[in-house]
A = this chain, B = another copy of it.
């Protein structure tokens, strides 16, 4: 039974371990394989509005952050990033975290969610976010430096979380 709760500082060693592993692949996350722990702690925990962990029987198996994507007059649109541990894949955890994040975002007053740099070669993620209601806004030519393929296209994805009359 997987539960999602707010991140505590005591989760960090575990979260950092699987973030570092995910970034090492260099094929989907914007954070570089050689990212420094302090920089990632800042990006994942210190600067976002909130950070969460997915816990399966006491074990942390995923994490995501939720933050305003822009300051001021764009701050009603949020941004999230999700990472699942390798041994917890294929159980719908990304879906669970994304659905959780949308509810949290609305509760915090956000009106839309944006993914800024979805790598086009990551077809599985692209399909997943589309199934969860995100649209491809457009393509950013060669905006992602893929570890294996070099400069590849990325896309911006977007989903409104509240109706216009809200």
Chain A residues engaging chain B, CB cutoff 8 angstroms: 23, 26, 29-32, 35, 39, 43, 70-77, 111-112, 114, 116-117, 136-147, 151, 154, 156, 158, 160, 164
Contacts and interface: CB of A to CB of B under 8 A. Distances in A.
The count of identical subunits is 2
Contact of A160 (B77, B141, B154): B141
Given A137-B138, A137-B156, A156-B137, A71 B30 contact: yes
Choose among A137, A139, A140 the residue with the greatest number of B CB atoms under 10 Å from its CB. A140
A112 B144 contact: no
18 contacts: A23-B72, A26-B73, A30-B71, A31-B73, A32-B73, A70-B116, A70-B117, A73-B147, A74-B145, A112-B141, A112-B143, A136-B138, A137-B137, A140-B156, A141-B158, A142-B160, A143-B158, A151-B164
